[in-house]
Amino acid sequence: MKRFMKYLKPVLTTFLVLPGLTLLSQEAAAVAPEIDRPIYEELGMSPTALASIMVIFTAILVGFVISLSSSAKNILEFKRSKIKGGMKTILLLFGISMSSELFAATETGSTDYLVSFPDSAFWTFFALDVVLIMIILYLTGIMRGVLSEYKVPAKINLFAKWNKQLTDVVPIEEEGSILLDHDYDGIKELDNNLPPWWKYGFYVTIVWSVFYLFYYNVFNVGLLQEQEFLTEMEEGEREVAEYKRLHPVLITADNVTLLEDASSIAKGEKVYTDYCKTCHMENGRGGAGPNLTDNTWIYGGDIKAVFKTISDGTSNGMAKWSDIIKADEIQSVASYILQLDYVAPPDGIAPQGKIIVE
């Protein structure tokens, strides 16, 4: 029974990791912000660059997991535990290879990564990396536990070696040797070295600063903050203009312009025939509604005023057309009306209103 329990844990872990991975990637894709542009474009990278980064990062993580697992295997063998040597490792590796196969399966059908790197692939990598990091943390935890219980010679234990190299800690039993001689109300100080992992990080920032200086301030390859801001604002304005062009519903009485191209006038004429002709008659000569071809208007005769009258309607017989037709249709029908030829009485209705537009 006990033996069975020992197998149970790694098996359970593997089976939790597998569906977890699929779920995670789906979940991640679902909560991903809805953007029209693919992620690599959003990040300003080529699909190849983003794909390479994701692949390399994932490969590094897989490398970590494998070396941690083999380290764990060595320790387990060292312990001569009743469980066969690297059972856990094998199961874990099996789990990982299964996951990558799963990953491959989700992605078949789009082999041309380099032309485009689909968002789904990005999120799958992302989820895979999260899972790998969790596995690494889990393995690290196990290793710490095992190490604190057993004294394992460092030469067979890569993890302990790294740990020693990167933290440079003095084991607790030898702390006496680095104890400083001052004592504040019983609080003492150890003369530990700076942790090498921290020092290396610091060196990296020094190297980085040189690169940064030359990149931004000496060779002016990268844009400085202000310039970057201005460029982004320009880009933003271009996008807004493009959006407005593609979404004519945003046309309002304040920004509407007179359209003069033949296709817009034709579109306006169609709207007029469908909705307006019954009252304003053909050619806009007027009937139940006023003559739309003269230069006398009740509500104003420039494009903005006409657009507003049609959109909002009036209390005297004009419907609120913005409820019935779209803003771009109102724009084109208004433009159509404004280019109509004058139909004088008696064919046309006599002028109404006080606003004269020359």
Minimum CB separation of residue 271 from ligand HEC in Å reads 6
Furthest CA-CA distance within the chain: 115
How far apart (Å, rounded) are the C-alpha atoms in residues 130 and 205?
A: 26
How far apart (Å, rounded) are the C-alpha atoms in residues 265 and 260?
A: 7
Q: Which is nearer to ligand HEC, 289 or 348 (CB)?
A: 289
Q: Interface with ligand HEC by CB under 6 A: which residues?
A: 275-276, 278-280, 288-290, 292, 297-299, 306, 309-310, 314, 316-318, 321, 333, 337, 352-353
Minimum CB separation of residue 251 from ligand HEC in Å reads 15
Between the CA of residue 160 and those of 28, 133, 137, 149, 175, what are the distances in Å? 35, 19, 15, 13, 19
Q: Which is nearer to ligand HEC, 95 or 284 (CB)?
A: 284
88 backbone dihedrals φ, ψ, rounded to 5°: -60, -45
Q: Which is nearer to ligand HEC, 96 or 306 (CB)?
A: 306
Q: Which is nearer to ligand HEC, 125 or 321 (CB)?
A: 321
The answer to whether residues 254 and 318 touch, using CB atoms and an 8 Å cutoff, is no
Tokens of 197: 């992992």
Between the CA of residue 286 and those of 10, 136, 289, 334, what are the distances in Å? 86, 80, 6, 15
Q: Which is nearer to ligand HEC, 148 or 316 (CB)?
A: 316
How far apart (Å, rounded) are the C-alpha atoms in residues 292 and 67?
A: 83
Minimum CB separation of residue 293 from ligand HEC in Å reads 11
Minimum CB separation of residue 240 from ligand HEC in Å reads 29
Minimum CB separation of residue 344 from ligand HEC in Å reads 16
